[in-house]
Structure 1
Amino acid sequence: MPTPAYPFVASVDLAALPAGGTDLLLPSEGHLLFFSWPGSVSPSSAGQVVYVPAGVAVTERDRQESWNAGGVEEYRVMFAGYPRGPLRASFGVSLPYHACVTLPGGQDTVCIPGHPRAEELVGVWEKTQGDIAPAGALQIGGYSDEEAVYLDPVEDAVSAAVQAVQAGRWGGPVSADPADWVLLADWFAGADVAGWEGSTVHWVIQREDLAARRLERAFASVYWNP
């Protein structure tokens, strides 16, 4: 396959994840490779996901191959801040960080229907989450998080995906209903990349694409609170 257009972030060995360890219908073997650029302002996807099935012949490539082509020092400096070393899986509780949703039609936002005290519950979770389930650099599945949450970050990512398709910058079909999508992974990039504190990359995917193992159909969006 062509060299991904975004820098390499992480590789996840799916066989190392215990069955039922996530809320996702992931393959039981193989690797997921994540690529992204937390400084992306592209109207298309801000990253890629590559699924490498177990037993498939692969060759190693220069992890900087695609990104050094631009020759821009700022890019090299940012990429040098990407995390290094092994990832260690841990399992914890994941609860919503958002208290509002967009009404059908996309005009107004309201407190989560049926949960009039959602904002208070989110506040309690934010105060206790660090002691119960500390966040790591990369989260697989669960509820999405970012520095300043109002709506579900998955909802914002879905909106970006729909706009990218409408602009001809990403391939459809895509559903505009966030219920048809799920969080594949979050990368808290600001924890690693100096100058981009508050930056989070969200990879989302349609449930039917995940079930069919079309993991290359994952869409990435970036939230940055400078």
Structure 2
Amino acid sequence: MNTEMRTRLRPFRAEALAQGIPAEDVERWLTLARPCVNLTPAKEGPEPVVGQFGGPLLLPVGVPTPEYPFVASVDLAALPADATDLPLPSDGHLLFFSWPESDYPYSAGQVVYVPAGAAVTERDKQESWNSGDVDEYREMFASYPRGPLRASFDVSLPYHARVTLPGAQNTVCIPGHPRAEELVKVWEKTQDDIAPAGTLQIGGYSDEEAVYLDPVEDAVSAAVQAVESGNWDGPASADPADWVLLADWFAGADVAGWEGSTVHWVIQREDLAARRLDRAFVNVYWNP
């Protein structure tokens, strides 16, 4: 953790100590901090514009139009190299696609990486997913947010306190962190003063309406089951340590009727390092 992140987390540390959590437990927890990018739709503001919700769908020649509605694009060249701890490409665009509801046992969305300078064509955004006479879904897509995304470069701590260890039947506190549940509550209390959540987050830790396990762990389980059922192309490691959160979209803040919905784009570390962004798996938490 760099000096800037540590400085920003001073309110968290002070609150944890004030609640009687031993300093050594607080310091160990702080080693889990990750940089992230919080993106908020706003036409005006001091933060830099690094992407947009909606807009024209521009895809490389030869890339099929995704089967899910277009959510947002992010200009990777507009992100500082240390904005996240993910091995993202240094330029080009990431395009995110998804429904804001569970599509179990399938991936509920896609990611397309558009390299800088690639020849692109504009596509019909309703070409592949168009749901015919299902007005609910047409109205849903029509309510997707539109407009520029402004970035704040923030820090993220876990929202979950428990994990499932390989071969175990029950969950346990995050190993090495016996005060995890208390520390998660401290983060819930202090986050708004440190790094207020945006609508779309790149990197960091995953959040949703009700967190017990890391949402990435649930997404990995869904990916493995999708492979086993023949609904997603493998391989898919069953170990959450082999995966990272690429992005979260708090869709319930934007899409009427899907309040409480959060979309998680996750990807295996080796696929991200190899720029196989099409290998992202998408899981959705929605409590209708």
Smaller-chain TM-score range?
Answer: over 0.9
Aligned-partner residue type, residue 67 of structure 1: W
Structure 1 stretches of at least 4 aligned residues deviating more than 4 Å after TM superposition: none
| Structure 2 Cα separation of the partners of residues 186 and 157 of structure 1 | 12
> Is it true that 1:54 corresponds to 2:116 in the alignment?
yes
For 1:212, the equivalent position in structure 2 comes to: 274
Once the two structures are superposed, residues 65-84 of structure 1 have per-residue CA deviations (whole angstroms, 9 ceiling, x without a partner) of 22334331000111122110
Determine which of 132, 156, 177 is the counterpart of 2:239: 177
Aligned-partner residue type, residue 4 of structure 1: P
Q: 1:192 to 1:106 in 2, by over 3 A?
A: farther
How many angstroms does 1:106 deviate by? 4.7
For 2:167, the equivalent position in structure 1 comes to: 105
Q: Which moved more, 1:35-44 or 1:22-31?
A: 35-44
| Structure 2 Cα separation of the partners of residues 106 and 58 of structure 1 | 48
C-alpha RMSD of the superposition: 1.1
CA contact (8 A) 1:67 1:75 kept: no
For 2:203, the equivalent position in structure 1 comes to: 141
Percent identical: 86
| Structure 1 Cα separation of the partners of residues 103 and 200 of structure 2 | 21
Map 1:83-162 → 2, pairs under 5 A: 83-162=145-224
Q: 1:2 to 1:71 in 2, by over 3 A?
A: farther
For 1:12, the equivalent position in structure 2 comes to: 74
Q: 1:69 to 1:148 in 2, by over 3 A?
A: closer
Once the two structures are superposed, residues 73-97 of structure 1 have per-residue CA deviations (whole angstroms, 9 ceiling, x without a partner) of 0001111221100111111110000
Aligned-partner residue type, residue 127 of structure 2: E
Greater fraction of residues in strand: 2
Once the two structures are superposed, residues 13-46 of structure 1 have per-residue CA deviations (whole angstroms, 9 ceiling, x without a partner) of 0011111111110001100000000123331100
| Structure 2 Cα separation of the partners of residues 201 and 106 of structure 1 | 27
> Is it true that 1:35 corresponds to 2:114 in the alignment?
no
For 1:81, the equivalent position in structure 2 comes to: 143
For 2:128, the equivalent position in structure 1 comes to: 66
CA contact (8 A) 1:191 1:197 kept: yes
For 1:44, the equivalent position in structure 2 comes to: 106
Unpaired segments of 5 or more residues in structure 1? none
Once the two structures are superposed, residues 149-202 of structure 1 have per-residue CA deviations (whole angstroms, 9 ceiling, x without a partner) of 000000000000000000011011111000000000000000001111110000
Count of equivalent residues:
226
Aligned-partner residue type, residue 91 of structure 2: E
How many angstroms does 1:99 deviate by? 0.3
| Structure 1 Cα separation of the partners of residues 202 and 79 of structure 2 | 10
